Structure 1
Amino acid sequence: MSARGFLLAAPRSGSGKTIVALGLMRAFRERGLSVAPVKSGPDYIDSAFHAAATGRPSLNLDSWAMDEPLIAGLAAANAEGAELLIAEASMGLFDGAPGIIGRTGSSADLASVLGLPVVLILDVSGQAQTAAAIAKGCAEYDPRLKFGGVILNKVASERHARLTRTALETVGLPIFGALPREKAISLPERHLGLVQAADTDDLDAKIARLAAFVAAHVDLDALRQAAAPLSCGPARANALKPPGQRIALARDAAFSFIYPHLLLGWRRAGAEISFFSPLQDEPPPPDADICWLPGGYPELHAGRLSSARTFLDGLREFAEKKPVHGECGGYMALGAALTDAEGIRHPMAGLLSVSTSFFKRRMTLGYRRAALAADGALGPRGKILLGHEFHYATVETQGDDPPFALARDAYGGEAAPVGSRRGHVTGSFFHVIADDPRMAP
């Protein structure tokens, strides 16, 4: 691989990683570089912003759900033809789930597997010299990691920057730049994080402003020199066997949360993917072998989905003979009804007995290790799927359908039934990231 790269990380969430990452991605692209973006962890929203900033697809790389060969293979695939790989961390640099070293889902694991130097983004609001102690602690905490340097964020004044820079120089960490506090530099958010890229007005102009802001305050030449070649071992790029040769995939504002690495792997395995839009009242293509409804925001479009007769009738007809699978929002659409944020109940496809609600909300978040409860399009009974769940919807009534899988979270405990299955139709709230090659059915 010819690409060199680095990981943008921070000691905690809310430090400005995404803003800085998007600004740097576009700034390097404007300099004529081909930039390959990746996201650490299961955040499926940021990847679309990465793609908008770079003009190249972004992949999620997750050390809890992916082994090292899969991470290496996906990183290599995404870096083909690129000169620079920029990885954006999730949460704090070392934050993850319980697990063996290298399989915790932390961004530090990803940096270690790929040999990426860490560039630490420090939100220095409310502190000055103390930032050096935090940076030194991060640099020395994990001996697996290489540290490239620091970018200061939310600097209040030149004096503030000088105090912080002087302290960082005493601990030997290079400083690539200092971004001043600027309220106008932001992106809109909603309940699952950023408003989706496709729903953000004037996105390209917003990213261009981020790039100009970051380029004005960061030494791009020094940062590029700090990048290191990707160092990976044995590689594979297919996280999950294609569920069919011809896959009908819902894609629009209601159904958009499909991991790009799954599509990459399926296409590389020879599968064909046909997109259709339920919001445009399009049915799944009848010549497909399986219909897949990914997650998204069906709760924001429940009335429109409920009245999309061509889509619903076509989906029901498809499900009579062929598999249909729904993840999170797709699972909600397959159920009997969906209650929106105003408390209005909307009939859905009725292919599963579950009824869900966004009126009665509770955040559910975490990794899932699920064993399939029956043979199906995603594999034989007992096959292990590794995934992630993040939603605010609740189950009003589960109904009498048997479960899709038996799942544990990352903290152990007894396996519990999740999701639903009926005939050719399956669904659950968790998003599949990869299967577990260590576990035979």
Structure 2
Amino acid sequence: MAPGLLIAAPRSGSGKTTVVLGLQRALARRGARVRGMKCGPDYIDPAFHAAATGAPSFNLDSFAMGTPLLESLASEAGQGADLIVAEGSMGLFDGIRRETGRTGASADIAALFGWPVVLVLDVSGHAQSAAAVALGCARFDPRIEVAGVVLNKVASDRHRRLVEDGMARIGVPVLGALMRNGDLALPERHLGLVQAGETDELDQRLERLADAVEGGLDLDRLVALARPTRLRSLNPGRSLPPPGQRIALASDRAFSFVYPHVLSGWRRAGAEIVPFSPLADEPPPDGCDVCWLPGGYPELHAGRIAQAGRFLDGLRRFSQTRPVHGECGGYMVLGRSLEDGDGGTHPMADLLPVETSYAKRRMHLGYRVACLVEDGAMGAAGRRLVGHEFHYASVVRSDASRDTAFATITDAEGHDLGTAGHRRGLVTGSFFHAIAPA
């Protein structure tokens, strides 16, 4: 079983992804078999990990997943690997108010697997005071070990010496530093990084990140910090069961937000996944018994989707005899219309009684626990699922009632949020991204 370490930070925007991708690629090009993992419900970063390492990257979520599933995923990732380089989410301790170990925070993952934490510190705007931040992180949670820090956005050699002086006072090793360099930044949009498949010259960007990390960090020392992945349970974890035997999966720039562990679990259960591209005006393949429209960026391609007659007509025909489910962006496309960011309204599949808008933006973010109202592609009535919601689109018109709802939902603390999504015939959908069974 491969050893691992967790790259984390005190807050978002510190440069975790820059360091992680550079480290993963630098080690991979040395010949190491590296596997990435991502803490929390993020469906963009794992694709970058896969591009950097050449191997799939799974999510690890201490709120949405039980310990057996977490350990199953870590075990699967670690088989045949030399090192697991996991990336934290938000700040190291940021999560929800739940019992220790079930907060969704990255620290829970480090504690569960015994992985040392390497802290990425954005030191722009301070010097010795950065040590106080590192010391606080090192002492806040006795379950974890902060094994060292990487300094990011260093302004000069003098600045670096001042920061290192503070670290020496508290006895936290400095494992390297990256100078302030805007050329290392990856392009972003409203839901995070531009997707790996859309990032121009991605391989060249990853090579530049690897060059920077190799030149600024002590890679041998970092690798030596990794510790064996601690696994306690031999029980296989419960993952989402496949919605069918042959799954037609919309897959292109408009539909790409699928958790890798979900697809892996479906395949392990014997399902076949058949991708098709709505943007290429491809209909769901006839030989499939269920169609899945994942999230993504349909709001950026609404006009093109509205003109994809073969896709829309094929989707409608498919839905007459076989289940169709849409998550987030897929749900929007199953509705009557979608308003893009410029205020243009585009007709969609009209399979669910909902109209959505990206022009009227409001961020919706958080864990959700859903209970299915009726039998459908996601399971039988009463099944409980844990997932996540993150989008800026809003519902502008909807025929909403429990009689047409996909599920009833609560937030992570159990507060009732009413109903979510819609169902009509064999078609279901909601803004909810399912992660695992509750």
TM-score when normalising by structure 1: 0.97
Instruction: Tell me the amino acid that sits aligned with residue 406 of structure 2.
Output: F
| Mean Cα deviation higher: 73-82 or 202-211 | 73-82
Distance 1:159 1:236 in 2: 52
Query: Would the aligned equivalents of 2:329 and 2:431 in 1 still touch at CA under 8 Å?
Result: yes
Alpha-carbon shift at residue 341 of structure 1 (Å): 0.9
Alpha-carbon shift at residue 111 of structure 1 (Å): 0.7
* Secondary structure, aligned partner of 1:178: strand
* Secondary structure, aligned partner of 2:175: strand
- The structure 2 residue matched to 1:432, chosen from 416, 431, 434, is 434
Query: Would the aligned equivalents of 2:116 and 2:145 in 1 still touch at CA under 8 Å?
Result: yes
Distance 1:311 1:236 in 2: 38
* Secondary structure, aligned partner of 1:127: coil
Alpha-carbon shift at residue 328 of structure 1 (Å): 0.3
Alpha-carbon shift at residue 347 of structure 1 (Å): 0.6
Query: Would the aligned equivalents of 1:115 and 1:232 in 2 still touch at CA under 8 Å?
Result: no
Tell me what 1:160 maps to.
159
Distance 2:306 2:232 in 1: 49
Query: Would the aligned equivalents of 2:68 and 2:238 in 1 still touch at CA under 8 Å?
Result: no
| Mean Cα deviation higher: 397-406 or 317-326 | 397-406
Tell me what 1:409 maps to.
411
Alignment of 1:128-207 (within 5 A): 128-207=127-206
| Cα shift readout 1:45-86 (whole Å, capped 9, x = no counterpart) | 111111111111111111110011111101111122110100
Distance 2:147 2:393 in 1: 41
Alpha-carbon shift at residue 251 of structure 1 (Å): 0.1
* Secondary structure, aligned partner of 2:322: coil
Alpha-carbon shift at residue 400 of structure 1 (Å): 5.0
Query: Would the aligned equivalents of 1:238 and 1:266 in 2 still touch at CA under 8 Å?
Result: no
Tell me what 2:386 maps to.
386
Tell me what 1:250 maps to.
250
Distance 2:338 2:100 in 1: 41
Query: Would the aligned equivalents of 2:370 and 2:385 in 1 still touch at CA under 8 Å?
Result: yes
Query: Would the aligned equivalents of 2:67 and 2:237 in 1 still touch at CA under 8 Å?
Result: no
In structure 1, list runs of 5 or more residues that go unmatched.
Answer: 437-441
* Secondary structure, aligned partner of 2:213: helix
Given the alignment of the two structures, is residue 371 of structure 1 paired with residue 387 of structure 2, yes or no? no
Query: Would the aligned equivalents of 2:10 and 2:121 in 1 still touch at CA under 8 Å?
Result: yes
Distance 2:236 2:77 in 1: 12
* Secondary structure, aligned partner of 2:17: helix
Alignment of 1:64-103 (within 5 A): 64-103=63-102
Query: Would the aligned equivalents of 1:237 and 1:265 in 2 still touch at CA under 8 Å?
Result: no
| Mean Cα deviation higher: 370-379 or 229-238 | 229-238
Given the alignment of the two structures, is residue 311 of structure 1 paired with residue 311 of structure 2, yes or no? yes
Alpha-carbon shift at residue 170 of structure 1 (Å): 2.0
- The structure 2 residue matched to 1:420, chosen from 414, 417, 422, is 422
Tell me what 2:220 maps to.
221
Q: How many residues align?
A: 435
Distance 2:414 2:68 in 1: 25
Alpha-carbon shift at residue 116 of structure 1 (Å): 0.6
Query: Would the aligned equivalents of 1:323 and 1:377 in 2 still touch at CA under 8 Å?
Result: yes
Alpha-carbon shift at residue 267 of structure 1 (Å): 0.5
Tell me what 1:264 maps to.
264
Query: Would the aligned equivalents of 1:238 and 1:265 in 2 still touch at CA under 8 Å?
Result: no
* Secondary structure, aligned partner of 2:285: coil
Distance 1:349 1:182 in 2: 45
| Cα shift readout 1:162-205 (whole Å, capped 9, x = no counterpart) | 12112212212111101111122111111111111111110000
Give the RMSD, CA atoms, in angstroms: 1.0
Alpha-carbon shift at residue 414 of structure 1 (Å): 2.1
Tell me what 2:396 maps to.
396
Query: Would the aligned equivalents of 1:74 and 1:236 in 2 still touch at CA under 8 Å?
Result: no
Alpha-carbon shift at residue 411 of structure 1 (Å): 3.3
| Cα shift readout 1:103-160 (whole Å, capped 9, x = no counterpart) | 1110001111111100001111111111111111111111111222111111111111
TM-score when normalising by structure 2: 0.98
Distance 1:379 1:183 in 2: 47
